[in-house]
Chain A
Amino acid sequence: MTKMTFARAINSGLRKSLENDPKVILMGEDIGALGGVFRVTDGLQKDFGKHRVVDTPLAESGIMGTAVGLAYRGYRPVVEIQFDGFIYPAFDQIVSQVAKMHYRTQGAVKMPITIRVPFGGGIGSPEHHSESPEAYFTHTSGLRVISVSNPQDAHTMIQQAIASDDPVLYFEPKRRYHDKGEVDESLDLSAALSMEKARVVTEGKDVTLLAYGPLVKTAKDAALAAADEGISIEVIDLRSLAPLDFATLEASVRKTGRLVVTHEASQTGGIGAEIAASITERCFYHLEAAPVRVTGFDVPYPYSKLEMHHLPGLDRILDGVDRALGRPNSLSGLEG
């Protein structure tokens, strides 16, 4: 076990993948000499060479489209999109090519591409630097979408993503890059929890609280605060957003009968909407109350001085928990 930052844990995972498979190639803007704007790829170009850690021209569709060509040739490209809001120029290549190639060619051409996306807000950035675009990708068949919440998972799951024969979007919570945690770098990938599995991070019995990425920490803090009031929250880190691990989610909801989902992304058509609908379909008779979503609002990401109103914090999450439990809450009297 080594104590390291979130960013360093990803870096260490990338290093292991580069060492273990000569077909792994890192591509992106400023990832070489600079080591990435968040230093996640720090030192990798120096150690593995310019042909394996590639500073690309500043063109996201170009990066993604050439990654498709490299995958066609048998490579495993790991693409860094510098910020969440810069992924849209690559959207066509991701949705029309990366996601569909395996289906189009009836399995002949694999697209083992990992797309790393620093995402989410809370760092006081200008526009386009704080977005949560994950639902665009969970809606797209052919892609796997994961998000990591702690240094150990960041380290392990980046390697699992790269090893996957399917394309994976790997969402990194940029406001947690500097959080530190213990990381076992010798952990055997095959022994580690599959990247498609959710994890119960705090056991509880009164309400199930689902979070991923940056909000797992907030959700755990909320559970701790609620415990003081005698409310037992079961916090689950989704880890995989596509596919969702319904076995773990259902087991928890069947136990607690109440569900709260939280994410920074906007509400309409989001991950929370999919979970609420699916859980309602799958365990309707175990639910004691309607599922509750605590999310960013349906607004463009706001200017940074207002972002803490947009981002679900501990108190908003607890207000949602109160709603799920039928306790007095900010909407008391409104609900019919």
Chain B
Amino acid sequence: MFTDDAGKGGISAGGPGNSAGSNRRSGGDLVQLITPGGERVSHPEFDPWVQDVSDEQLGALYEDMVVIRRIDAEATALQRQGELALWPPLLGQEASQIGSARALRDDDFVFPSYRDNGVAYCRGVNPEDIVKAWRGNALAGWDPYTVNVATQQIIIGAQTLHATGYAMGIQNDGADSVAVAYFGDGATSEGDVNEALVFAASFQSPVVFFCQNNHWAISEPVRLQSHIQIADRAAGFGVPSMRVDGNDVLAVMAATRIATDRARHGGGPTFIEAVTYRMGPHTTADDPTRYRDANELEDWAAKDPIARLKSLLERKGLLTAQLETAVAAKADAVAKALRSGTINMPEPQPMDIFKHVYSTPHSPLERQQDHYSRYLASFGDPAEAATEEGAR
């Protein structure tokens, strides 16, 4: 049950043996388990949370990251070829999305933004469903209840409140699931994100605020959004926070496990800042050369999340020809399926425009539907009429 009594314990309400991030950290305290050179470094607080990750699982994480980068590249190409109207690349953010999504249980519920396509992939969304909205064939590509992922939110930060409300529902149901809100550094300036932190703290709701600080909100640098480290804002709400290397898949996974474990055990919300970098444009319609220094991109390329994990695998002797072949084959297959699924996607029908506005009949809308149907019929072939309408 969620009540305002829940907050009386304050941030000390966390479960036993789970104190990570419960104290305010200084901004410089960036948690890293894999160096950019691929060296595994120890961290007493975070290591226990990923010690069970087997060699095989490391390989699977590598595969996930390669596959979503490939989905991203294929979707960008589809946009350039006119098959998608727009695409928001996640290039550079693979470790943040895979490390966090792979830390969740099936019964957890994710509230993503439009760039969290890697998260959607991990949760089981079909790649062609991921691009459906960007092709203009639907407003959203999937039924949220089949994958426990809400449709991607375009209004910046609005979904953090939805995640918090969903978490309040989990509390009332007496369940131990967790709601996870994905958003970016720009979103932290929005009122909704701040209100979500207030509600989550007051009701001690089982929600994880997963912020990918990718350094850019279209053309605005993160320093315009926050005068302090973003993770440090959480302390003002009484929400424990962590600041992790967002290009380090293990650090992200450990942080997400710490946060979800706390939430499952009645410890309330956690804020994670995954420090990463948007290596591509905001969307395919954007031109970062107008506002961004090329040197900055080079610096971050040296911290690439996939190259980093690859180096670790190499050091551990796990980067076999067999693994590389299998990963490449998987990426090729997914890309091929994405391309053919996109190109062969069934076209929506004109009268679909009227569907699902309401769940029960609405007579003025039915009248408009009837009139438009008669109008289309007056052309003889409705499909032809619709094409003409669009062309004008």
Q: A residues within 8 A CB of B111?
A: 69
Cβ proximity bits A99-130 to B, threshold 8 Å, 1 near / 0 not:
01011111111100000000000000000000
Task: Tell me, in angstroms, the Cα distance from A107 to B143 when the chains sit together.
Answer: 9
Most buried by B among A68, A89, A96, A141: A68
Q: Is the CB of A57 within 8 A of B198?
A: yes
Cβ proximity bits B293-318 to A, threshold 8 Å, 1 near / 0 not:
00000000000000000000000000
Q: Is the CB of A102 within 8 A of B3?
A: no
Task: Tell me, in angstroms, the Cα distance from A102 to B357 when the chains sit together.
Answer: 6
State whether A68 and B365 are in contact (beta carbons under 8 Å apart), knowing that A59-B195, A102-B358, A103-B357 are contacts in the complex. no
Does chain B have a CB within 8 A of A316?
no
In A154-180, the 8 Å CB interface with B consists of 164-166
Does chain B have a CB within 8 A of A300?
no
Does chain A have a CB within 8 A of B114?
no
Which of B162, B195, B365 is in CB contact (< 8 Å) with A97? B162
Nearest Cβ on chain A to B268's Cβ, whole angstroms: 15
Does chain A have a CB within 8 A of B108?
no
Q: B residues within 8 A CB of A185?
A: none
Q: B residues within 8 A CB of A93?
A: 158, 161, 192
Task: Tell me, in angstroms, the Cα distance from A304 to B173 when the chains sit together.
Answer: 46
Q: A residues within 8 A CB of B166?
A: 69-70, 72-73
Which of B5, B139, B170, B191 is in CB contact (< 8 Å) with A61? B191
Does chain A have a CB within 8 A of B32?
no
Task: Tell me, in angstroms, the Cα distance from A67 to B192 when the chains sit together.
Answer: 13
Task: Tell me, in angstroms, the Cα distance from A97 to B144 when the chains sit together.
Answer: 15
Task: Tell me, in angstroms, the Cα distance from A164 to B359 when the chains sit together.
Answer: 9
- Which residue of the partner chain B has the closest CB to A57? B198
Does chain A have a CB within 8 A of B199?
yes
Cβ proximity bits A70-94 to B, threshold 8 Å, 1 near / 0 not:
1111110100000000000100110
Cβ proximity bits B350-370 to A, threshold 8 Å, 1 near / 0 not:
000001111110111100000
Q: Is the CB of A108 within 8 A of B144?
A: yes
- Which residue of the partner chain A has the closest CB to B179? A69
Q: Is the CB of B360 within 8 A of A166?
A: yes
Task: Tell me, in angstroms, the Cα distance from A109 to B111 when the chains sit together.
Answer: 13
Does chain A have a CB within 8 A of B138?
yes
Nearest Cβ on chain B to A287's Cβ, whole angstroms: 20
Task: Tell me, in angstroms, the Cα distance from A61 to B161 when the chains sit together.
Answer: 8
Task: Tell me, in angstroms, the Cα distance from A47 to B364 when the chains sit together.
Answer: 41
State whether A51 and B3 are in contact (beta carbons under 8 Å apart), knowing that A74-B169, A96-B155 are contacts in the complex. yes
Nearest Cβ on chain A to B249's Cβ, whole angstroms: 28
- Which residue of the partner chain B has the closest CB to A73? B169
Nearest Cβ on chain A to B78's Cβ, whole angstroms: 22
Q: Is the CB of A107 within 8 A of B363?
A: no
Question: What is the interface of chain B mostly: helix, strand, loop, or mixed?
Answer: helix
A interface size (C-beta, 8 A): 50
Q: Is the CB of B155 within 8 A of A66?
A: no
Q: B residues within 8 A CB of A144?
A: 358
Does chain B have a CB within 8 A of A55?
yes
Nearest Cβ on chain A to B68's Cβ, whole angstroms: 23
Task: Tell me, in angstroms, the Cα distance from A175 to B160 when the chains sit together.
Answer: 37
Does chain A have a CB within 8 A of B164?
yes
Nearest Cβ on chain A to B194's Cβ, whole angstroms: 9
Does chain B have a CB within 8 A of A65?
yes
State whether A51 and B172 are in contact (beta carbons under 8 Å apart), knowing that A65-B195, A70-B166, A244-B364 are contacts in the complex. yes
Nearest Cβ on chain B to A95's Cβ, whole angstroms: 10
Q: B residues within 8 A CB of A57?
A: 195, 198-199, 202
Task: Tell me, in angstroms, the Cα distance from A96 to B157 when the chains sit together.
Answer: 12
Cβ proximity bits B195-234 to A, threshold 8 Å, 1 near / 0 not:
1101100100000000000000000000000000000000
User: Which A positions have Cβ atoms within 8 angstroms of B?
Assistant: 25, 49-51, 54-57, 59, 61-62, 64-75, 77, 89, 92-93, 96-97, 100, 102-110, 141-142, 144, 164-166, 196, 243-244, 246-247
Known: A61-B192, A92-B155. 16 other contacts (CB 8 A): A54-B2, A66-B165, A68-B161, A68-B165, A73-B109, A92-B158, A93-B161, A93-B192, A96-B158, A97-B158, A102-B356, A107-B355, A109-B151, A142-B357, A243-B363, A247-B363
A-B contact pairs, 24 of them (CB 8 A): A50-B4, A51-B1, A51-B2, A57-B195, A57-B199, A57-B202, A61-B195, A62-B192, A62-B199, A65-B196, A66-B161, A66-B199, A69-B111, A69-B161, A69-B168, A73-B109, A92-B192, A103-B139, A105-B151, A106-B140, A106-B355, A142-B358, A243-B362, A246-B364
